[in-house]
Amino acid sequence: MESQQTQEKKIIFSGIQPSGHLTLGNYIGALKNWLKLQYEYRCCFAVVDLHSLTVRQDPKELRRRCMEFLVQYLACGIDPKENLIFFQSHVHTHTELAWILNCYTYMGELGRMTQFKDKSAKHADNINAGLFDYPVLMAADILLYQTDLVPVGGDQKQHLELTRDIAIRFNNLYGETFKVPEPYIPEVGARIMSLQEPTKKMSKSDENPNAYIALLDSPDVIMKKIKRAVTDSDNEIKYAEGKDGINNLLSIYSSLTGEKISDVEAKFAGKGYGQFKTEVAEVVIESLKPIQERYKDLMNNQDYVKEVYTTSAEKALSISSKTLRKVYKKVGFVPKA
Ligand code: TRP
């Protein structure tokens, strides 16, 4: 009965690259949504370590960060009994399918990807083939699990479109093989902006640490960063065009407390920015506190964490191998005895 129920649940795949630090933006924009989805859907949440090699990484740092990211997923409340939480590199079908899909993806399509254009401008000394091929690996991630829905932010829509095109192309050539995934747009995912340049999205790899709140920032640091957040000079706590800094702080407050923006405005009417910032910081500190406590406990419980990612990777391998076998058969490889 239970297995039948899980069969009927739709499948979600999402991944975060282990670069920089997981931020309040990732929490409000992605992880908090994952928490809502995790019992309704069958979810795969991967730390997409293979993708992060497309820019240079220090091996020691990368290893530490990969672990920190996975443990932060758990600390945020992703339930490993109901979802698969694993490292992409532990499931070899991802790179295997990526190779096949490479042969069904055109150079022109990849050259049009805006993220490739942006990243190659940013890393002009290291425009490697992996950077170009990045979206194909992402397509493999998604298509391996016969994924129904992919929660994506605006910057990944183009990659998801390409994934759909590749799936449709393959299906047209060989018959129904891949589920064609749909984007999953959360109801009202607040987009959290940089604290220093509030017209830009809060980025987990911003060079200026004052631009983001890391999930693991201490209360002091959080207070300092929010106090320093760029605002405007008209001293009115109101959500309005051109008041990007204040709008951002209002969004943060509202998403973490669940209060409507208009209620938050009313609450702070006539108050100064200083007090508002202090209260925003307090809400952030309180919201991150349980996550940070769970994080510490989990980091002290490496056996448990290992058990989670190992079991998840085994299940992920078993599910994804079915798709890969189907693909190998369709393209004409001799089946393994
Ligand atoms: N490219 C995504 C990003 O940078 C990360 C990613 C890799 C991903 N594989 C994925 C997201 C599969 C969703 C599904 O945000």
Q: What is the DSSP string of 148-186?
A: SEEE--GGGHHHHHHHHHHHHHHHHHHSS-S---EEE--
pLDDT of residue 187: 64
Residues 141 and 15: beta-carbon distance below 8 Å: yes
pLDDT of residue 1: 43
Q: Is 201 a catalytic residue?
A: yes
Give which of 100, 102, 16, 97 is closest to 51, Cα–Cα.
16
* DSSP E strands, the chain: 11-16, 42-47, 83-87, 149-151, 182-184
Tokens coding 282: 């307090």
Residue closest via CA to ligand 1's atom 9 equals 138
Residue 114: which H helix or E strand, with range? helix 114-122
Specify the length of the chain in residues: 337
Q: Is 119 a catalytic residue?
A: yes
Query: What does the alpha-carbon distance between residue 142 and residue 134 come to, in Å, rounded to a whole number?
Result: 13
For residue 14, the CA-to-ligand 1 centroid distance in Å is 6
Nearest-Å Rg of the Cα atoms of the chain is 21
pLDDT of residue 150: 96
Q: Tell me if residue 281 falls in helix, strand or coil.
A: helix
For residue 268, the CA-to-ligand 1 centroid distance in Å is 38
Looking at this protein, which amino acid is placed at residue 47?
A: V
> Could you tell which of 11, 41, 51 is best to mutate to test the pocket of ligand 1, judged by most ligand atoms within 8 Å of the CB?
51
Across the beta sheet with 182-184, what order do the strands follow?
A: 83-87, 42-47, 11-16, 149-151, 182-184
pLDDT of residue 153: 79
Place of tokens 């992060």: 52
Query: What does the alpha-carbon distance between residue 65 and residue 76 come to, in Å, rounded to a whole number?
Result: 16
Residues 217 and 225: beta-carbon distance below 8 Å: yes
Residue 115 neighbours by CB under 8 Å, 6+ apart: 134, 135, 155, 158, 159
For residue 70, the CA-to-ligand 1 centroid distance in Å is 15
32, 119, 243, 277: the catalytic one is 119
Q: Is 225 a catalytic residue?
A: no
Residue 140 sits at the vertex; the CA angle it makes with 76 and 307, to the nearest 5 degrees, is 40
10, 60, 122, 204: the catalytic one is 204
Q: Tell me if residue 43 falls in helix, strand or coil.
A: strand
Domains of the chain, each with CATH number or no CATH: 4-189+302-331 (3.40.50.620), 217-296 (1.10.240.10)
Give the ligand 1 atom nearest the CA of 159. 1
Give the ligand 1 atom nearest the CA of 135. 1
Residues 149 and 11: beta-carbon distance below 8 Å: yes
Give the ligand 1 atom nearest the CA of 155. 15
pLDDT of residue 189: 61
Phi then psi for 128, rounded to 5 degrees?
Answer: -90, 165
Residues 276 and 268: beta-carbon distance below 8 Å: yes
**Ligand 1, residues at Cβ distance < 6 Å:** 13-15, 17, 48, 51, 138, 141-142, 150, 152, 156, 159
Q: Report the predicted TM-score, pTM, of the whole model to 2 decimal places.
A: 0.91
Angle between helical axes of 157-174 and 302-331 (0-180°, round to 10): 40
Give the ligand 1 atom nearest the CA of 16. 5
For residue 145, the CA-to-ligand 1 centroid distance in Å is 14
Residue 218 neighbours by CB under 8 Å, 6+ apart: none
pLDDT of residue 2: 46
Query: What does the alpha-carbon distance between residue 312 and residue 309 come to, in Å, rounded to a whole number?
Result: 5
For residue 266, the CA-to-ligand 1 centroid distance in Å is 38
For residue 128, the CA-to-ligand 1 centroid distance in Å is 18
Distances (CA, A) of 42 to 6, 115, 150, 175: 7, 28, 12, 25
Residue closest via CA to ligand 1's atom 8 equals 15
Looking at this protein, which amino acid is placed at residue 210?
A: N
For residue 112, the CA-to-ligand 1 centroid distance in Å is 18
Q: Which residues of the chain have pLDDT under 70?
A: 1-7, 187-189
Place of tokens 């050539």: 173
Residues 20 and 203: beta-carbon distance below 8 Å: yes
> Could you tell which of 11, 12, 14, 97 is best to mutate to test the pocket of ligand 1, judged by most ligand atoms within 8 Å of the CB?
14
Looking at this protein, which amino acid is placed at residue 6?
A: T
Distances (CA, A) of 172 to 165, 167, 168: 10, 9, 6
